[in-house]
Amino acid sequence: MDYADRATIAGPATVFGQGGIGIVRLSGDRALDLLQRLFRPRRHLSAFESHRFYYGAIVDARGDLIDEAMAVYMRGPHSYTREDVVEFHCHGGAVVGRRVLDLLLEGGARLAHPGEFTLRAFLNGRIDLSQAEGVMEVIGAQSLLGHKIAVRHLQGALRERCDALRELLRDALALVEAWIDFPEEDLDPATQDGIGVLLRQADEQVRALLESFRTGRVLRDGLGVLILGRPNVGKSSLLNALLGSARAIVTDLPGTTRDTIEEQLDLDGLLVRLIDTAGLRESADLVEQEGVRRSREKIAEADLVLLVVDGHCGVRPEDLAILDDCGDKSVLLVVNKCDLGNCELPISLAHLPRVEISASTGEGLGSLRRAIREMFVDPDPDPVRETLMVTEVRHQDCFSRCSQVLARAQAALERRESLEFLALELRLALEVLGEVTGETAPEDIINRIFSRFCIGK
């Protein structure tokens, strides 16, 4: 994308044909001119005021009516892109929106690239790169908690944390560079201690951000929960009970579920993707064999495995073999059929968190829902209120590299290595943090981020 291209751009801000209102957006120096050429306000006015809606008609070059609409002019820099911005709010038909966009392109605007409106907001300094990514997170949020995290990123919480970290590192770098000017003198103990404190503070904050990634990703993308067990332990009954509907076929015959079944569930703002699987057992049935193979494949994709066992009949060797298949995955032991009475479970399962339920009566389902949620999310009803969480793999990579640099810097300080080496590490840490906010991000990374946007955003 040519960042020097300052042409007036146009694009649909809503999907044409899928709503009562369709919005077409303009940004650039010619936005007001195109508004004046295509829009006829119902009442005569001498000039369009900024940030005021007008009712009128959109017409073509011959004066033929295209649509009755609302229009708003937002004078830069007080706009989304910090340029002059115009929006036409038309009826939501596919033909209407397409026709309005065509008129703008015929009038000299250029079709916006994906994400170009937000890119211009970034290039013009209204938002940083992490806030731009927050825009996409808000649009793509699938749960209440995921939306709350996205809003914090949109408001600049990650940028503020990076600014605070850079301030610590700049203070440390200033101390180091002050002593570089006096090579004949050794770094005094007080200054060394001061630099060490700053480095440890920065490292602790970076590590906290890294540790938040596991929970942050789950809150944003949802929790993949795999229901696993041998045939007839009640896996499909459990799925139906959690969903509150008969999604899976339940019979007394083993091997009823031949393929995976996936459904979504909201656990107090946490999106959960429930995956019911074929019972794991040896079978001569080729279709059931394929179902078992797919079940084992799903283990690698899951965040949490619900290992369902029959508490009434007791644990069998097949149950223990299934636990071995789970490897290092997080496992929650679900002891089903507690309404029929439970057998004593083997000590080899004692290390697993456990919930006793009855999928048929509903007993224990509330405890199971809480246990699933609390294995990944703080029990606080609003766990993201005070905590900044990392959700993007790109940010995780930046903070991971920053942590590695800070570890090298602390080691160099302790070994009293050349101050030039320490200064080099501190500058590198500052550069890595700048990638998060976009100040030092490579152009190909910026292009990749904005290519994920839709055209009108």
pLDDT greater than 60 at residue 253: no
CB-side neighbour CA atoms (13 Å) of 408: 16
**123 and 164 housed in the same domain:** no
Domain final residue pick, 128, 150, 168 = 128
The CATH number covering residue 232 comes to 3.40.50.300
What gap in Å lies between CA 301 and CA 407, rounded to an integer? 32
Q: Is residue 144 part of a domain?
A: yes
**112 and 174 housed in the same domain:** no
* Highest mean pLDDT pick, 64-68, 239-243, 254-258: 64-68
Q: Is residue 19 part of a domain?
A: yes
* Of residues 180 and 21, more confidently modeled: 21
Distances (CA, A) of 366 to 166, 264, 302, 363: 45, 17, 22, 8
**88 and 122 housed in the same domain:** yes
**Mean pLDDT value of segment 114-137:** 95
Joined tokens for residue 311: 């508490």
Between 59-63, 161-165, 199-203, the lowest mean confidence (pLDDT) is in 59-63
Domain final residue pick, 101, 128, 155 = 128
Joined tokens for residue 423: 């200064």
Q: Is residue 449 part of a domain?
A: no
What pLDDT was estimated at residue 425? 96
**Mean pLDDT value of segment 38-57:** 94
**361 and 396 housed in the same domain:** no
What pLDDT was estimated at residue 181? 74
**119 and 139 housed in the same domain:** no
What pLDDT was estimated at residue 256? 47
**353 and 420 housed in the same domain:** no
What pLDDT was estimated at residue 378? 73
**169 and 297 housed in the same domain:** no
Q: Is residue 217 part of a domain?
A: no
Q: What is the mean pLDDT of the chain?
A: 87
270-276 and 261-267 beta bridge pairing: antiparallel
Helices (H) then strands (E): counts for the chain: 15, 13
The CATH number covering residue 122 comes to 3.30.1360.120
- Structural domain range at position 143: 131-212+390-438
Contact 140, 391 (CB under 8 A): no
pLDDT greater than 60 at residue 254: no
What pLDDT was estimated at residue 156? 95
What gap in Å lies between CA 325 and CA 323, rounded to an integer? 5
Q: Is residue 262 part of a domain?
A: yes
**31 and 45 housed in the same domain:** yes
**103 and 124 housed in the same domain:** yes
Domain final residue pick, 76, 111, 128 = 128
pLDDT tens digits for 424-451? 999 999 999 999 999 999 998 999 999 8
Angle 301-302-307 (CA atoms, 0-180°, nearest 5)?
135
Residue 281: CB atoms within 10 Å: 17
- Kindly give, in sequence order, each residue whose CB lies less than 8 Å from that of residue 377, ignoring residues fewer than 6 positions away: 145, 215, 218, 219, 270, 383
Q: Is residue 37 part of a domain?
A: yes
pLDDT greater than 60 at residue 250: no
**339 and 404 housed in the same domain:** no
What pLDDT was estimated at residue 292? 56
Instruction: Specify the amino acid at residue 318.
Output: E
The CATH number covering residue 140 comes to 1.20.120.430
Q: Give this prediction's pTM.
A: 0.83
pLDDT tens digits for 207-218? 999 999 988 998
Q: Is residue 385 part of a domain?
A: no
Joined tokens for residue 419: 């101050």
Joined tokens for residue 73: 């002019």
**170 and 297 housed in the same domain:** no
Contact 421, 248 (CB under 8 A): no
What gap in Å lies between CA 305 and CA 160, rounded to an integer? 37
**248 and 322 housed in the same domain:** yes
What pLDDT was estimated at residue 27? 97
Q: Is residue 278 part of a domain?
A: yes
Please report the DSSP string for 300-335 in residue order. HH-SEEEEEEETTT---HHHHHHHHHTTTSEEEEEE
Joined tokens for residue 183: 């090579």
What pLDDT was estimated at residue 293? 59
* Highest mean pLDDT pick, 86-95, 251-260, 306-315: 86-95
**Mean pLDDT value of segment 121-144:** 93
| Total number of domains constituting the chain | 3
